[in-house]
Structure formats: C-alpha cells, structure tokens
Amino acid sequence: MREYRIAAIPADGIGPEVIDAGIAVLKALAGQRGDIRLDFDLFDWGTDYYKRHGVMMPADGLDRLRKFDAIYFGAVGAVDVPDHVTLWGLRLKICQGFDQYANVRPTRILPGIASPLGGVRAGDLDWVIVRENSEGEYSGAGGRVHQGLPEEVGMDVAVFTRVGVERIMRYAFRLAQSRPRKFLTVVTKSNAQRHGMVMWDEIAEKVSREFPDVTWDKMLVDAMTVRMVLKPQSLDTIVATNLHADVLSDLAGALAGSIGVAPTANIDPERRFPSMFEPIHGSAFDIAGKGIANPVASFWTAAEMLGHLGEREAGDQLMRAVERVCEAGIMTPDVGGNATTREVTEAVCNAIAGRNILD
Ligand code: GGG
C-alpha cells in the first residue's frame, strides 16, 4: 500500500464545494483500487480565517504544509475583502514560498462538452499552457507614493531574471518533448516590452538548442489570442509569463467549454517542497452555496496530483470515469447540463466503482 498525505485548503466561495467533491472521488478511487491510501488534513485558511485573525493563513503556515506530499487547493476571493489581499495572503504565499515556479495548465475538450468555437472537436484543442509562476508581473515589486494626492504614483514592476526564465523555458521544452507533437509556442510581448521580454526571446533561442527534436515558434500575446480562437489545431505546448499565461489560460478554458473544467498544477520541479493542485477557476461567489459548481476541474486537478505523486495510472483511471460521466451528459449548467455538483460527484464515484453511473 502506497500512502500519501494531502493538505486540503478549500478556502473561499465554491472552493469548499469542489474540494469536498474532489476528496469524495479520491476516496472512492483509493477504496476501489486498494493499492493507495490518501490521508487528508483540512485547513480552514482563507477569507473567513482572515476576518477572524487578520491574516489569510497563520505565520507558520508554510512550515505546517511542508511535511505533506501535496496540497489540494480550492479558490480564493470574496466580495467583501480586496482581491489583492486574499490572493497575496494565501495562494501566492504558498506558490512563491514553496518556489512552485511551473504552473501547468492542460486544456482539452472533454467528451460531451461543446466548445463555443464552431466546428472544433475534441482532438482539435489539446494544449498545455506553462505559466511562469514565481516572478514577472507577479514579482510583488512596486509601491504607491503620495497616496490620494494629484501626483500619486502606483507601480508594479515586472521582474524577469535569467535564472527564472531559463528554468521555466527548460521545463516547457522538456514538457513539449514529452508530448507526441513535440511542439512549443513561446509567447511574449517583446515588441513593446523591449527589455525583459527580449531577454525571454533570447533565452528561448538558447534553451531550444538543448532540445533539437522540439519544433518551436514565437507569438506576441495579442496575436496569440487570435490564433487560439481561429487556429486551435496549430498549438500544442505553450509557455508564457505569469500574467500573460494567466489570461491565456482563462481563454483556453472557455474555448474548451468552461473554465469550470480546467485544472492547474503549481509544481516545484525539484521537489524540495510540496506542489499545489487547484482548479483554475476562482471562488465564483455568485454561485457559491447553490450546489451547482462544476466539480470537473477539481477532479481533473486531483488526477494531475496523482500523476505528480507517481500514480499516473490511478489519475488516468479517474479521468476515464470523469469522461464517461461527461459523455453521458451528467454535467452542471455551465457546460449545458442540469446536474448538481453532488449528482456529478456521485456519478463519477459510481463510474469508478464500476456501477451504473445513474445509480
Ligand atoms: N483556484 C484559483 C484561484 O483561486 N484563483 C484566484 C485568483 O484570483 N487568481 C489570480 C491569479 O492566479 O493570478
């Protein structure tokens, strides 16, 4: 029996609903297989915790997470606390504190889910977006002076380091190399941003020489949005800065049917720290508590987590169950269905157990 300890941080909005659902299917999967054991410790960090304690997580939070094999995260964001407080106080504190510098975002059209792009079918959109996750526009460098006065200045400085860009570029080339098409698109805005982004292009060129079997091309981020919509088949693996990839991956999720199905892995490739797995979507407080949040992103996220833990076969088994349920039309309203979070979750548990999915 292989045992894994998972720290679960459901946090805000629909986070608790989709993480509950994810834990239920993971337990069903472990029970059905009998060869893995998953132990979950729940952490109540997030906006409610912030309202009680003035911080999103305790000062020793990272130390408490360090001993886990992985972190299973929900979402941050609330109506009544500024987004930069919730984001920097929890999600970014963990990503940056554990140097999870590779944010990996697979997107494909699952069976039974329709893309808003006419005529685009499952195999036509199968991408992995690699988001630099430690620096760039999210460096945190900047500040405000003369607040409230006419001469007020606000600055956010995008910081690109050679170490940071080289390591994400190498990660992306290696990932592209592992996929059948061996094709990478490097996204920048190096016409307008003539320092850091030009360095990205130079580093891409240099790192590409280590991967002679990988074909690659370059795109400006604005043109990339057009290519994603008009020629989705022309893309495979994509690497971009922290901010650019954040925006592009929301678009990718929508083009694949809904941001409610898209997963994210915040990876420390050197495995010095636990990596963190979360649905791409945020807290969606407009639908929180209604029981209609799409749990598929958190299931796919769980499959990615299993893969990272060395349990790829179990992750694939979970995804096969998810795909069967989607194909049968048991889906939440965001992807055109009328099922609840609980109904989708039960159907996936049934599929894992080999029962009729409608039991
Ligand atoms: N589960 C992802 C999540 O909670 N995202 C919240 C968010 O606002 N993210 C912004 C970002 O990652 O840049």
**259 and 188 share a domain?**
yes
Domain boundary, last residue among 238, 267, 296: 267
Could you tell me the CATH number of the domain that includes residue 217? Answer: 3.40.718.10
Q: Are residues 86 and 50 in the same domain?
A: yes
Quote the DSSP letter at residue 352.
Answer: H
- Cβ of 89 closer than 6 Å to ligand 1, yes or no, is no
Do 59 and 171 lie in a common domain? no
Q: What percent of the chain has pLDDT above 90?
A: 96
> Could you tell me the pLDDT band of residue 119, with boundaries at 50, 70 and 90?
confident
Choosing from 189, 236, 268, 334, the catalytic residue is 189
For residues 68 and 114, state if they share a domain.
no
pLDDT in tens, 28-77: 999 999 999 999 999 999 999 999 999 999 999 999 999 999 999 999 99
Considering the domain architecture, whether residues 26 and 82 belong to the same structural domain is answered as yes
**Final residue of a domain: which of 267, 302, 330?**
267
Q: Is the CB of 246 under 6 A from ligand 1?
A: yes
Is the distance from the beta carbon of residue 257 to the nearest atom of ligand 1 less than 6 Å? no
User: Are 262 and 202 in the same domain?
Assistant: yes
Pair 108, 90 in one domain:
no
* Domain edge (last residue) among 205, 233, 267: 267
Q: Cα(47)–Cα(61) distance, rounded to whole angstroms?
A: 15
Helices 312-327/341-353 angle, 10° precision: 120
Determine the Cα–Cα distance for residues 175 and 129; give it in Å rounded to an integer: 10
Do 247 and 308 belong together in one domain?
Answer: no
pLDDT at 359: 73
Q: Whose C-alpha lies nearest to ligand 1, atom 12?
A: 246
**Ligand 1 centroid vs 281 CA: distance in angstroms?**
7
Distance (Å, whole) CA 344 – CA 17: 12
Q: Is the pLDDT of residue 253 over 90?
A: yes
Known catalytic residue at 83? no
Domain encompassing residue 38: 1-101+269-359
Residue 12 confidence (pLDDT)? 97
Structural domains of the chain, count: 2
256 and 142 in a common domain: yes
pLDDT tens figures, 305-314? 999 999 999 9
| Segment 279-299, tens digit of pLDDT | 999 999 999 999 999 999 999
Minimal-distance CA residue to ligand 1 atom 10: 87
For residue 121, the model assigns a pLDDT of 80
Residues 109 and 248 in one domain: yes
Residues 139 and 250 in one domain: yes
The pLDDT-based confidence of 109 (bands split at 50, 70, 90) is: very high
Note the pTM of the prediction, 2 decimals: 0.95
**124 pLDDT tier (thresholds 50, 70, 90):** confident
> Which tens digits make up the pLDDT trace of 301-345?
999 999 999 999 999 999 999 999 999 999 999 999 999 999 999
Total Cβ atoms within 10 A of residue 136: 24
Condensed to tens digits (0 to 9), the pLDDT of residues 91-108 reads 999 999 999 999 999 999
